[in-house]
Chains A and B, each alone.
Chain A
Amino acid sequence: MRVKNSRRPGVRTASAATALVCCAATAVTSGTSPASAAANNYSTATSVAAFGGMSGLVTAAKAEGALNVITLPDNWCNYGAIISSFQKEYGIKITSENPEGSSQDEINAMVQLKGQSREPDVLDMGTPFAIKADQEHLLAPYTVSEWRDIPAAQRASDDTWWADYGGYVAIGYNSAVVKTPPTSFKDLLRPVYNHMVGINNSPTVAGAAFAAVFAAALANGGSFNNITPGINYFAKLNTEGNFVPVISGPSTVQSGATPIVIWWDYLQKSEIQAEVKTWKVVIPTDGVYASYYDQAVSANAPHPAAARLWEEYLYSAAGQNQWLQGSCRPIELSTMVANGTVDETAFKQLPSVPTGFKGYPTQTEVTNAEDVVAKDWATDVATT
């Protein structure tokens, strides 16, 4: 679904291809969808009403008895717990493929496994990839019961994808080593942070690192139309000797190479804090940048009712709170805070968001910024 430490296209694609070859033969015989599913045509159901309400959906999904998910790591937004809760609650067996894969892998799987019982039923992907999948007619329109709680700007106009959870670019630091807590991008330029600051990968490769550059741009007079101040910021961080251009993660924190890492707040928590107990996470006061991932249902889902039940579960208070317990911010968070259904303990553990949030860049702005980063990153933030 996403880029973690890095993205290795070759490896994932190869494994997907192998899986395709090895199991194509068994696909036909092992299909568990009952004939009634096809008769009822659940794959065109656009809301729970098509099942005659929630109990109808549950019955239909239980009859299918299985669900295929893809690219959901156990420690990513608490997906491990979500998967086991769903299985326990409905007795539906979940097959989780390629947990460390990328959004592109999800599209590839839908294309390569089309029509087989192994095709992913549900997707969790970055917005550019959701748009691409929609353009390739791979997604089924569906509106979860809580549709109105999802801001209109964060769901597709044709209902084929909708935001699920997100987070902010954050500064994490090992409080055992870093005695002066940094709170902003500007802070990180101080000599006290010499040889300390890392990012999770090259911004020409990883979405999170790219977001870090965008956030730094906002902190330094840039805008969604102008990412260059962000590149200049990292160039300065580099010439000041504070930037450590290593692919950062729990291992570089533990080895002491990067006592400070700029990354998504929820990954700081689930990936680093889980292993380094003294790890603290703050959202920089001068560059507040957030991004959400999206949910979607495959147009050719082999288990169309179970896929829709999964979505209903994720957008129920229980599902949303489970994301929250994984330090991710569910899209219904503000509604849940307002109506009191939020898990207060988990909510209080989120790093607080400073004022100055400027919303989200458009897809065009993102594409333009990516071109600039591709051209200028290695020349301006050059190591010699």
Chain B
Amino acid sequence: MQFGTRARALKAWAPLLPFAAWMLLFLGIPAVAVAIGAFEKSTGSGLTMANVNTATTGVYLLGFKNSLKMALVTSIIPGIAGTFLAYAIHTSRGTVLRRLVVTASGVLANFGGIPLAFLFIASIGAEHALVNNWLADVSVHLWPSFNLYTFSGVALVYMYFQVPLMVLVTLPAFEGLKASWHEAAENLGAHTWQYWRYIGVPVLLPSLLGSTLLLFGSALSAYATADALTAGTLALTPLQIGSFLNGNVIAGEQNVGKALALGLVLIVAVVMGLYVLLQRRASRWLH
């Protein structure tokens, strides 16, 4: 009997095996290698705190601050904007418009890197850039008060793919919101805000939080776009890690890069922890 139960349990877990193996190979092992490397001397053998000390001071500390700020700004604002946009699409009657927006979101959410950076450079990256010229025609002068090659410029570019991403991942949650619930609430005499306060938002909140976390992760790890727009003048941790692994200018200090990577892992771990707490609190409203 005992054996039978165990066999059943094994059978139940077996489909998970390929995924587990995948995670071990491409997440587990590299993460351990990074964690060990962060405490190893770059030359010779032996353990050291020097990499971590370097990674948490000066320009590298600034990198963490900027990266965290960038990830927060470009996950919370697009998180809220994307939610409202998704709701608007969900309630719109035009199926053509709806399909257009969903398809466009799918494309734009995956638009990134150098091409995205150049799209913005050509649009608003100079006094006589395409969009700046159009705006000037209607007496709107974005230039030079808004500078693309700054923190807010990079944040704006990130939002270009973050908002569609939010729409894509939250739409299914809105679909799960049954029209009959709203009708039932109205029949019982609830105002619109009461419906949202006691039914709509509590049902949606867990998936909205999860989606915003996804945005946070994607903003924290974005690389090529920021690289193209700032030529190293905006300290961001992923770019700094790149400069270490590259080994072109800063030779032989790859382990400082690993210490920086470990820092990013820790940031994500803390945010995930907060997320789990929030998620628990959010789910409780449902019961």
Q: Do B227 and A104 touch across chains, with their CB atoms under 8 A apart?
A: no
A102 close to B (CB within 8 Å): yes
Q: Do A205 and B144 touch across chains, with their CB atoms under 8 A apart?
A: no
Q: How would residues 117 to 154 of chain B score, 1 for a CB under 8 Å from any chain A CB and 0 otherwise?
A: 11001100111110000000000000010011111000
Which interface class (under 10, 10 to 19, 20 to 34, 35 or more) fits A? 35 or more
Q: How many residues of B contact A (CB 8 A)?
A: 39
Docked complex: A245-283 residues within 8 A CB-CB of B? 245-248, 251-252, 255-257
Contact A204 B229, CB 8 Å, known A251-B118, A255-B125, A255-B129:
no
Q: Do A256 and B127 touch across chains, with their CB atoms under 8 A apart?
A: yes
Q: Do A204 and B126 touch across chains, with their CB atoms under 8 A apart?
A: no
Please indicate the chain A residues that have their CB under 8 angstroms from the CB of B249 in the complex. 203-207, 210, 370, 373-374
A128→B229 CA distance, assembly (Å)? 28
Q: Find A383's partner among B118, B150, B228, B242 (CB 8 Å cutoff).
A: B150
Q: Do A377 and B144 touch across chains, with their CB atoms under 8 A apart?
A: no
For B59, B118, B151, B231, the residue with the greatest tally of chain A CB atoms inside 10 Å of its CB is B231
Q: Do B125 and A209 touch across chains, with their CB atoms under 8 A apart?
A: no
Docked complex: B204-246 residues within 8 A CB-CB of A? 227-235, 239-240, 242-243, 245-246
B residues engaging A (CB < 8 A)? Answer: 58-59, 62-63, 117-118, 121-122, 125-129, 144, 147-151, 227-235, 239-240, 242-243, 245-251
A139 close to B (CB within 8 Å): no
Q: Do B151 and A384 touch across chains, with their CB atoms under 8 A apart?
A: yes
Please indicate the chain A residues that have their CB under 8 angstroms from the CB of B240 in the complex. 378
Q: Do B250 and A252 touch across chains, with their CB atoms under 8 A apart?
A: no
A245→B235 CA distance, assembly (Å)? 12
A18 close to B (CB within 8 Å): no
A3→B144 CA distance, assembly (Å)? 31
Q: Do A379 and B62 touch across chains, with their CB atoms under 8 A apart?
A: yes
Contact A256 B246, CB 8 Å, known A245-B149, A246-B121, A376-B59:
no
**CB of A10, distance to nearest CB on chain B (Å):** 8
Q: How would residues 360 to 384 of chain A score, 1 for a CB under 8 Å from any chain B CB and 0 otherwise?
A: 0000000100110111111101111
Interface of A is mostly: mixed
Q: Do A384 and B248 touch across chains, with their CB atoms under 8 A apart?
A: no
**CB of B52, distance to nearest CB on chain A (Å):** 17
Q: Do B231 and A201 touch across chains, with their CB atoms under 8 A apart?
A: yes
Please indicate the chain B residues that have their CB under 8 angstroms from the CB of A194 in the complex. 144
A118 close to B (CB within 8 Å): no
Q: Find A246's partner among B149, B235, B248, B251 (CB 8 Å cutoff).
A: B149
Q: Do A383 and B59 touch across chains, with their CB atoms under 8 A apart?
A: no
- Can you give 7 contacting A-B residue pairs, CB < 8 Å? A245-B149, A245-B229, A246-B228, A246-B230, A257-B125, A257-B129, A378-B234
Q: Do A244 and B149 touch across chains, with their CB atoms under 8 A apart?
A: yes
3 tightest Cβ-Cβ pairs between the two chains A and B: A202-B232, A378-B235, A256-B126
**Beyond the given A246-B121, A379-B59, could you list 18 further A-B residue pairs with CB under 8 A, ordered by the A residue number?**
A6-B227, A7-B248, A9-B245, A198-B231, A204-B243, A205-B243, A206-B249, A207-B249, A210-B249, A241-B144, A246-B125, A246-B148, A247-B231, A257-B121, A374-B59, A374-B243, A374-B250, A383-B149
Please indicate the chain B residues that have their CB under 8 angstroms from the CB of A383 in the complex. 147, 149-151, 230, 233-234
Contact A199 B231, CB 8 Å, known A241-B144, A378-B62:
yes
Contact A382 B231, CB 8 Å, known A202-B243, A205-B242, A370-B249:
no
